[in-house]
């Protein structure tokens, strides 16, 4: 047999070499796909052949301290589509039309998703059962069943806030994916949100169900619930009275209130105005702001709207800093007493101005207070007394206590976004800075820092960390974790604390805080009015901090009104009455009985007895026993009518009218007593045939005009009806 020619052998060799090379390349490529790209390709195959749907976990409930639900999650559903499956059934137009109609969406937007080259699209989240039931009916209907086979309904949850704007700045809100975006919802998002579940089902390459069914479900784990220290009733009191003050004073920068337990640091109420509806947090609810944004060029509106929302969401009690003004004088007094640089029996002479470092610094009362004791210096909120105390303390000691009171650092409060104080470096603080700082100017703190510091002064000297979360609960309601009160450090002695409790009580009974006095309760407190920088712009923060009961405080309340636009701007005038109203409602709610002595007993209120049908002599006897004045109308011998009606509450000495005939009773027009002093207002009301209930500081000073009355002037009322008149104490800062 003849051997192949050399050229043939050569061709065979090259062919074999080429074959081997191709084989090596193929083997290498297979190895590459199996090793380097293996995981990625496997993942892509799984994604192509399966659909992975998320089961949203149910977010934990947020309760107040008495287990009232403040934020809850309810089961809803998410509407999804498989566009490839709908296109295969030739149902795009029908599905888009029906879903847009049921879900109140744009047909164009739905149609775009339904016709997309995709296996899975979300049409709408958080859909209520009323809408999903209609979709289920279309999926079951023989005429639409085929087209709607590619429409899915998946488990979802929706966050509800039963009380709308209640505690909005504390609770915060969630986003589209139920993630916490603000407040408690954000601070404790990990605890509240739980762990999402999954449903994995088999699809073919175009996203259509396979002939056989396969589905694997991994259940979600619901989040923990949170119990707050907040008391829904006390929060209601704070919001009600703060809202009234906000409406009356129309502050450009809003207002805030905090109610706290000085012994534990538990926040019982925290409110800011204006507020917002937690169920619609992205809706601006102030028409003036909406109108101003709409007047802007189109390209500027989105940024302006976002800025307005951020401002609306701001929790002023935690995030804002401000010059505390005279409220801070409580701290300077406590420093001086604790350091022993002043005696309680010392006297001071206020001429209205003190020269420090060559600069004249005035008292708020420019004519001066004259000779006054240490206690009277605080009652009068006298700047020269404070400057002298600051001088005796010195820069180093003052700064030491400033830090010890926690005024230069965050308190560690639960809600994110807390600010820290703004203060001088000790090396940059000289005699003028020390003088102004001693009475609460030239630096800034947060309301929460100030509340914690004053709490330490009145509770025996213990700085407690403010907190608003009390407990964590599992899904069965069992307590997982208790948050105990946290002691930070000792600042002043019990002796200093006792003296200061007496001093701040005298501020309310005898000094600038008379507007916070509550008959029958022992209240302590301090006014504050700070002018914002630059000085002379007449933009003020009016504030008051109050404690009750003053001898053993269980409550501390701070209220500030930021840039009031009315005629009144001082803390004694517009902030002290708000604290008074909050504390009075709260003390009554907590079961504190009023203790009335001396002058208080003379104006104590009593219920009007039933005297209709009584002989006239017996009717008079019954009314006299209740301490009421008596007026008889008619010449009969039996009481047939009476005003006010039985059960009405009147101050002792008020008039009850006995009618001995059935004649028609003519109504009386309520007179206008605004601006009058107590005596003139009382006489005007009585002359009109009405009774008066005095609220506020009317009896404390001749310079206490009537500011509000209820019913308003001109209202027609029955004879002997009570007109509530509130008086404002004008002498103060």
- Looking at every residue in the chain, the average pLDDT score rounds to 88
**Main-chain phi, psi angles of 430, to 5 degrees:** -120, -170
Residue reference for tokens 């507020």? 275
- pLDDT (tens digit, 9 = 90+) per residue, 416-443? 889 988 888 888 899 999 999 999 999 9
Q: Classify 606 as helix, strand or coil.
A: strand
Binning pLDDT at 50, 70 and 90, where does residue 368 land? very high
pLDDT higher than threshold 80 for residue 201: no
Contacts of 37 (CB under 8 A, 6+ apart): none
Binning pLDDT at 50, 70 and 90, where does residue 29 land? confident
What's the whole-model pTM score?
0.85
**Main-chain phi, psi angles of 98, to 5 degrees:** -70, -45
pLDDT higher than threshold 90 for residue 273: yes
- Overall average pLDDT of the 29-40 stretch: 69
Pairwise CA distance, residues 387 & 58, whole Å: 57
Q: Classify 368 as helix, strand or coil.
A: coil
Pairwise CA distance, residues 559 & 562, whole Å: 10
Residue reference for tokens 């005796």? 392
Burial of 252 (0-12, 13-18, 19+ CB in 10 A): exposed
Q: Classify 463 as helix, strand or coil.
A: strand
- As a whole-number percent, the residues of the chain with pLDDT over 90 amount to 58
Q: What does the block give as tokens for 173?
A: 């809100």
Residue 101 or residue 46, greater confidence: 101
- pLDDT (tens digit, 9 = 90+) per residue, 294-307? 989 988 888 999 99
Pairwise CA distance, residues 448 & 321, whole Å: 10
- pLDDT (tens digit, 9 = 90+) per residue, 51-72? 556 666 789 999 999 999 999 9
pLDDT higher than threshold 60 for residue 356: yes
Per the omega criterion (within 30 degrees of 0), is the bond before 22 cis?
Answer: no
The pLDDT of residue 395 is 95
Pairwise CA distance, residues 15 & 21, whole Å: 10
User: Treating both helix axes as pointing N-terminal to C-terminal, what angle do 329-339 and 383-404 enclose, rounded to 10 degrees?
Assistant: 80
The pLDDT of residue 321 is 93
Residue reference for tokens 């003004």? 325
**How would you label 693-727 residue by residue, b for 16+ Cβ within 10 Å and e otherwise?**
bbbbbbebeeebbbbbbeeeeeeebebbbbbebbb
- Give the rounded distance of the alpha carbon of 685 from its chain centre: 39
The pLDDT of residue 600 is 56
- pLDDT (tens digit, 9 = 90+) per residue, 582-607? 999 999 999 998 886 655 555 567 88
Binning pLDDT at 50, 70 and 90, where does residue 380 land? very high
Binning pLDDT at 50, 70 and 90, where does residue 509 land? very high
Are the beta carbons of 576 and 729 closer than 8 angstroms? yes
pLDDT higher than threshold 90 for residue 495: yes
DSSP letter for 645, please.
P
pLDDT higher than threshold 80 for residue 200: no
**How would you label 220-237 residue by residue, b for 16+ Cβ within 10 Å and e otherwise?**
bebbbbbbbbbbbbbbbb
Are the beta carbons of 237 and 582 closer than 8 angstroms? yes
Half-sphere exposure of 348 (CA within 13 A, CB side): 26
> Which residue from 589, 531, 530, 584 is spatially nearest to 557, judged by alpha carbons?
584
pLDDT higher than threshold 90 for residue 449: yes
Are the beta carbons of 547 and 555 closer than 8 angstroms? yes
Binning pLDDT at 50, 70 and 90, where does residue 402 land? very high
Per the omega criterion (within 30 degrees of 0), is the bond before 274 cis?
Answer: yes
DSSP letter for 542, please.
E
Pairwise CA distance, residues 612 & 640, whole Å: 5
Are the beta carbons of 539 and 529 closer than 8 angstroms? no
The pLDDT of residue 225 is 96
> Which residue from 73, 111, 71, 75 is spatially nearest to 92, judged by alpha carbons?
111
Residue reference for tokens 């009806």? 721
The pLDDT of residue 701 is 56
Are the beta carbons of 44 and 130 closer than 8 angstroms? no
DSSP state string for 400-426: HHHHHTTTTS----SSTT----B---G
Binning pLDDT at 50, 70 and 90, where does residue 288 land? confident
**To which H or E segment does residue 383 belong?**
helix 383-404
Residue reference for tokens 């206590």? 401
The pLDDT of residue 189 is 94
Enzyme catalytic residues:
326
**Main-chain phi, psi angles of 84, to 5 degrees:** -65, -40
Pairwise CA distance, residues 43 & 38, whole Å: 9
Nearest-5° Cα angle at 450, 701 to 406 = 150
* Intra-chain end-to-end CA distance of the chain, in Å: 127
- pLDDT (tens digit, 9 = 90+) per residue, 228-243? 999 999 999 999 999 9
Binning pLDDT at 50, 70 and 90, where does residue 25 land? confident
- Overall average pLDDT of the 559-568 stretch: 93
Pairwise CA distance, residues 502 & 436, whole Å: 25
Are the beta carbons of 488 and 464 closer than 8 angstroms? yes
Residue 108 or residue 194, greater confidence: 108
The pLDDT of residue 440 is 93
- pLDDT (tens digit, 9 = 90+) per residue, 115-165? 888 778 899 988 988 999 999 999 898 888 888 988 988 888 889 999 999
Residue 503 or residue 128, greater confidence: 503
- Give the rounded distance of the alpha carbon of 670 from its chain centre: 37
Pairwise CA distance, residues 334 & 339, whole Å: 8
Q: What is the 3-state secondary structure (H, E, C) of 251-295?
A: CCCCEEEEEECCCCCEEEEEEEECCCCCCCCCCCCCHHHHHHHHC
Assign residue 35 a region (left: φ > 0; alpha: ψ between -120 and 50; beta: otherwise): alpha
């Amino acid at each position: 047999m003849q051997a192949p020619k050399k050229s043939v052998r050569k061709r065979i060799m090259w062919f074999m070499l080429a074959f081997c090379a191709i084989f090596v390349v193929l083997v290498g490529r297979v190895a590459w796909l199996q090793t380097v790209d293996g995981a990625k390709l496997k993942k892509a195959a799984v994604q192509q052949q399966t659909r992975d749907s998320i089961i949203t976990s149910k977010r934990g409930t947020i309760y107040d301290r008495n287990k009232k639900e403040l934020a809850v999650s309810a089961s809803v559903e998410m509407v999804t589509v498989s566009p490839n499956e709908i296109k295969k059934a030739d149902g795009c137009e029908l599905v888009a039309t029906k879903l847009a109609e049921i879900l109140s969406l744009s047909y164009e937007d739905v149609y775009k998703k339904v016709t997309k080259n995709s296996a899975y699209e979300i049409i709408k989240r958080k859909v209520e059962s009323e809408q999903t039931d209609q979709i289920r009916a279309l999926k079951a209907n023989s005429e639409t069943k085929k087209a709607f086979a590619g429409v899915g309904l998946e488990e979802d949850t929706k966050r509800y806030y039963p009380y709308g704007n209640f505690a909005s700045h504390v609770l915060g809100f969630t986003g589209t994916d139920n993630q916490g975006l603000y407040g408690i919802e954000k601070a404790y998002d990990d605890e509240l949100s739980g762990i999402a579940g999954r449903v994995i089902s088999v699809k073919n390459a175009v996203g259509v169900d396979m002939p056989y069914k396969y589905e694997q479900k991994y259940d979600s784990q619901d989040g923990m619930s949170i119990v707050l220290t907040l008391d829904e009733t006390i929060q209601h009191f704070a919001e009600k009275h703060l809202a009234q003050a906000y409406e009356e004073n129309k502050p450009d920068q809003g207002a805030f209130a905090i109610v706290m337990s000085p012994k534990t640091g538990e926040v019982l109420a925290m409110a800011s105005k204006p507020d917002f509806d937690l169920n619609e947090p992205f809706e601006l609810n102030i028409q003036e702001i909406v109108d101003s944004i709409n007047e802007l060029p189109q390209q500027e509106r989105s940024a302006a709207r976002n800025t307005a929302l951020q401002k609306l969401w701001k929790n002023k009690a935690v995030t804002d800093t401000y010059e505390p003004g005279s409220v801070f004088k409580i701290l300077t007094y406590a420093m001086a007493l604790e350091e022993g640089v002043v005696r309680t029996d010392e006297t001071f002479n206020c001429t209205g101005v003190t020269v420090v470092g060559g600069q004249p610094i005035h008292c708020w009362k420019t004519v001066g207070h004259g000779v006054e004791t240490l206690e009277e210096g605080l009652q009068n909120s006298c700047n020269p007394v404070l400057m002298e105390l600051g001088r005796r303390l010195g820069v180093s000691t003052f700064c030491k206590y400033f830090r010890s009171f926690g005024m230069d650092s965050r308190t560690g409060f639960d809600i994110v976004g807390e600010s820290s104080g703004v203060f001088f470096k000790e090396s940059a603080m000289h005699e003028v800075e020390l003088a102004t700082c001693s009475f609460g100017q030239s630096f800034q703190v947060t309301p929460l820092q100030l509340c914690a510091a004053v709490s330490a002064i009145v509770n025996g000297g213990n700085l407690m960390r403010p907190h608003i979360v009390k407990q964590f609960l599992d899904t069965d309601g069992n307590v997982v974790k208790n948050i105990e009160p946290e002691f930070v450090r000792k600042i002043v002695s019990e002796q200093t604390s006792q003296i200061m409790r007496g001093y701040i009580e005298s501020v309310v009974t005898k000094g600038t805080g008379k507007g916070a006095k509550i008959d029958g309760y022992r209240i302590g407190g301090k006014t504050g009015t700070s002018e914002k920088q630059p000085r002379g712009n007449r933009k003020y923060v009016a504030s008051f901090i109050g404690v009750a009961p003053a001898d053993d405080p269980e409550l501390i309340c701070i209220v500030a009104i930021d840039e009031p636009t009315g005629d009144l701007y001082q803390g004694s005038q517009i902030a002290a009455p708000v604290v008074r109203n909050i504390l009075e409602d709260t003390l009554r709610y907590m079961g504190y009985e009023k203790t009335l002595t001396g002058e208080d007993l003379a104006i104590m209120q009593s219920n009007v007895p039933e005297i209709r049908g009584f002989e006239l002599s017996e009717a008079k006897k019954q009314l006299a026993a209740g301490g009421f004045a008596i007026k008889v109308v008619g010449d009969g011998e039996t009481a047939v009518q009476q005003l006010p009606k039985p059960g009405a509450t009147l101050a002792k000495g008020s008039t009850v009218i006995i009618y001995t005939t059935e004649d028609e009773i003519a109504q009386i027009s309520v007179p206008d007593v605004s601006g009058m002093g107590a005596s003139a207002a009382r006489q005007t009301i009585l002359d009109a045939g009405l009774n008066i209930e005095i609220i506020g500081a009317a009896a404390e000073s001749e310079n206490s005009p009537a500011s509000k009355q209820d019913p308003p002037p001109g209202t027609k009322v029955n004879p002997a009806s009570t007109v509530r008149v509130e008086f404002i104490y004008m002498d103060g800062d």
